[in-house]
Amino acid sequence: MTCGASVTGRIPRVLSIAGTDPSGGAGLQADLKAFSAHGAYGMGVVTALVSQNTTGVRDVHVPPIEFLRSQLDAVSDDVTIDAIKIGMLFDAPIIAEVADWLDTLPKRTSHSDDGASGESVDGTISPEGTPAPIVVLDPVMVATSGDRLLKADAEKALHDLLRHVDLVTPNIPELAVLAGTAPATTAGEALDQAHGVAAAHDVLVLAKGGHLTDDTVIDALVRPDGSAERFTGPRIDTRNTHGTGCSISAAIAALWPRTGDPVLAVDTAKSWMTSSLRHADELHVGHGSGPIHHFAQLWERGLAPNAATIADQWWESIADLRDAIDDLDFVKGLGSGTLPEEAFRFYLAQDALYLNGYARALAAASALAPTQDEQMFWSYAAHGALAGEMELHRSFLGDDAGDTGAGAIDASPVTRAYVDHLVATAARGSYGELIAAVLPCFWLYRDIGHRLIALNHPSHPYSRWLDTYADESFDADTTKAIDICSRHATTATTTERAAMDRAFRLSSWHEVEFFAAPMRR
């Protein structure tokens, strides 16, 4: 299927009919962002030029009605429209002109069965077999700032427009106007009002609970036949809610032709809105009620580099530390075989103690792993650290290598610092941060092993060590560890990715210190 395609195999073509917001958070500008965030091609017809920002509305200029119709016809004469999102209409003449234009378009069937029983409904084909756009109305009456965006004498015209609409998405005050009652104070009252509007106008009604005060926001999609679907989500503590109504209705308009199911479209849009509100404070736009973050999910995940690029970035980020390792007398002597035995035995004794802590960190990674494959890999690696690598150490040092009991050698300050870093990351860090912290012990050892193996020979005093870290099985394990870490980073949040970067570099620095310690005594 084409990227972002609808159930028909096409990328949805969605039209916004709305007012403008030069600050970009609401109106036509917000609609286009929401369309793009959900894989639709966005188009826009301007009903009113609004001078506004995050603190309020300063002025409204309404172009001639003839120009509005010219815009509408220019789009429909040339482009097949899969969905229409209607926002600010301002006055009765604008509403009448939009209604007249909608009358020229193919009509959809009744909305009573849309999405009922969980069945997908494409809804883009009229009874005559011609494309019929889905119409979503956000009945914009008052801006987030409190400024009125619909003249009071236009409310009856807005009621009449509902016969052209598939879904209307009022907030609590707007729902009260449509229902002809006082604003609801509970989710139950809002649901009752939505039932009345849906039945009276044969329209789907999304009753939004954002204006209520409960910790859990409850929205309800109500059908004309009285059936309903409930959607719940956390209330996000932010003042930056500018354009929420515009944006969620636009998201649904983009998603409905993609999914063929209004229930799924609303559910997906609500999850997106929660994320957009949660990240709204990151934008720092304006001094009032700022905009939501329409592209939070894309910027955190969709725009992240692929796994191979991330792995390359990590490796290049420690080029200075890798050069430092190569310059160490310990590593040079290990390769040439001239390393004093006392220094090598000190290194092995400390490494045996380190492996105890390292294995615990690997086991913690196994416990946190999101998939069975990753859980098995880290568990296997923890076993390998104690059974495989420790056996190598004992072949040089004897059976007491790694012993922490009475009379055992003490961990050096360098060893304690490295182990403490891993233990702290396992205790307080995320899964991504932890696996990034254990990765350098794989990667740097493989790098050293691959480059030093060319210096190995049968009489080399440290031949077995060189063979171990140039071994094909260790090579494969390292590749697997890099793959797991870098793939996780592609889906990590911005915060976790930064923590992974820091953990990877800090562990790499500890590796430099660990290799340097035997020759510093």
Active site residue ranges: 441, 511
Q: In what order do the strands lie in the sheet with 134-137?
A: 41-46, 13-18, 83-86, 134-137, 167-168, 204-207, 216-222, 228-234
Rounded CA-CA distance 408/404 in Å is: 6
Which residue, 15, 184, 24, 41, is CA-closest to 101?
15
What residues have CB less than 8 Å from 239, skipping those under 6 apart? Answer: 289, 290
Rounded CA-CA distance 442/447 in Å is: 9
Q: DSSP state, 130?
A: S
8 A C-beta contact, residue 228 and residue 8: no
In DSSP terms, 57 is beta-bridged to 52
Secondary structure, 3-state, 346-408: HHHHHHHHHHHHHHHHHHHHHHHCCCHHHHHHHHHHHHHHHHHHHHHHHHHHCCCCCCCCCCC
Rounded CA-CA distance 385/441 in Å is: 11
Rounded CA-CA distance 172/301 in Å is: 33
Which residue, 273, 311, 309, is CA-closest to 291?
273
Rounded CA-CA distance 202/131 in Å is: 21
8 A C-beta contact, residue 274 and residue 236: yes
Are β-strands 56-61 and 13-18 bridged in parallel, bridged antiparallel, or unpaired?
A: unpaired
Rounded CA-CA distance 452/431 in Å is: 32
